[in-house]
């Protein structure tokens, strides 16, 4: 085999054992370098698989009991001054693997997009609910988030065997676990956090086009200096939360 042929072979995920043995026994310096690079890649992939598998610790306890439809729930957007709070409920296949699966805050935007696409395509079931600012103002952000979580589970087509939710104390007829930092400790909740984040980010990108000048595509509705300055310069939009400061005070003062 030429070095170019070996390079192409080692780009594959699954190299036949007999071919790999032949490559590893090749004394050419270029082949040894390619083989060393390939082995390092395998080691990185193995570590990543172990990291992701560790996120299934809670789910695995349910799997052992024959319960496979485990719902992970997470939200994004509780803190912004504008836009909805968005919740995702996701059921993954047992031990589903995707490189980089993690709390959405620890994943780059580009990788979040790729992961979200895979989650939508490969999840057993997925539901996303966004509560608009009007609902947040009517019942408060905590209640709106909770209602969105219940609605997201209700909208699933597959009946849950168990539920894992990030922090919120929900109650369902099936076993339910509320986990602090669940998006960093449960694969199902991590997947939900990514799906919710990408969905809401896309909404805010559209709002940026509809209400230019506030920087919604960049700040996603959070109260950055640019956003606050635009509020005072351009005024309040229909997607601003009127129960959140400084919007609330601006309304009181007659803006």
pLDDT in the model for residue 13: 77
103 carries a ligand binding annotation? no
CB atoms within 10 A of CB 3: 14
Based on C-alpha coordinates, what's the Rg of the chain? 23
pLDDT beyond 90 at 14: no
- Which two structure tokens, joined as six digits, stand for 211? 């209400």
Helix (H, G, I), strand (E, B) or coil at 127: strand
pTM listed for this prediction:
0.90
Sign of the CA dihedral 96, 102, 108, 112? positive
List, for residues 213-241, the tens digit of each pLDDT value: 999 999 999 999 999 999 999 999 999 99
Helix (H, G, I), strand (E, B) or coil at 24: helix
CA dist., res. 116 & res. 208, Å (int): 21
Ordered structural domains, the chain, with CATH: 3-54 (no CATH), 57-200 (3.30.420.10), 206-252 (no CATH)
- The answer to whether 8 is a known ligand-binding residue is no
User: Cβ contacts of residue 174 below 8 Å, gap of 6+?
Assistant: 160, 161, 162, 163
> Which tens digit of pLDDT belongs to each residue from 145-181?
999 999 999 999 999 999 999 999 999 999 999 999 9
Residue with tokens 């999840």: 123
* 166 annotated as belonging to a binding site for a ligand: yes
What's the mean per-residue pLDDT of the chain?
95
């Amino acid at each position: 085999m030429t070095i170019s042929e070996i390079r192409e072979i080692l780009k594959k995920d699954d190299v036949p054992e007999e071919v790999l043995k032949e490559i590893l026994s090749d004394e050419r310096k270029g082949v040894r370098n390619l083989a060393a690079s390939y082995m390092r890649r395998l080691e990185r992939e193995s570590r990543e698989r172990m990291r992701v598998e560790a996120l299934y610790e809670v789910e695995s306890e349910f799997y052992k009991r024959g319960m496979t439809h485990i719902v992970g729930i997470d939200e994004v957007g509780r803190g912004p001054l504008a836009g909805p709070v968005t919740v995702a409920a996701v059921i993954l296949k047992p031990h589903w693997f995707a490189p980089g699966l993690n709390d959405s805050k620890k994943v780059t935007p580009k990788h979040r997009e790729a992961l979200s696409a895979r989650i939508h395509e490969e999840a057993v079931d997925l539901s996303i609910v966004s509560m608009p600012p009007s609902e947040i103002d009517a019942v408060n952000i905590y209640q709106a988030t909770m209602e969105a979580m219940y609605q997201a589970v209700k909208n699933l087509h597959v009946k849950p065997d168990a539920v894992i939710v990030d922090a919120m104390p929900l109650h369902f007829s099936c076993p339910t676990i509320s986990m602090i930092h669940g998006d960093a400790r449960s694969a199902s909740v991590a997947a939900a956090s990514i799906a919710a984040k990408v969905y809401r980010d896309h909404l805010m990108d559209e709002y940026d086009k509809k209400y230019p000048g506030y920087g919604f595509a960049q700040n996603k509705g959070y109260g950055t200096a640019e956003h606050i300055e635009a509020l005072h310069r351009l005024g309040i939009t229909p997607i601003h939360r009127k129960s959140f400061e400084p919007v609330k005070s601006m309304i009181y003062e007659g803006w």
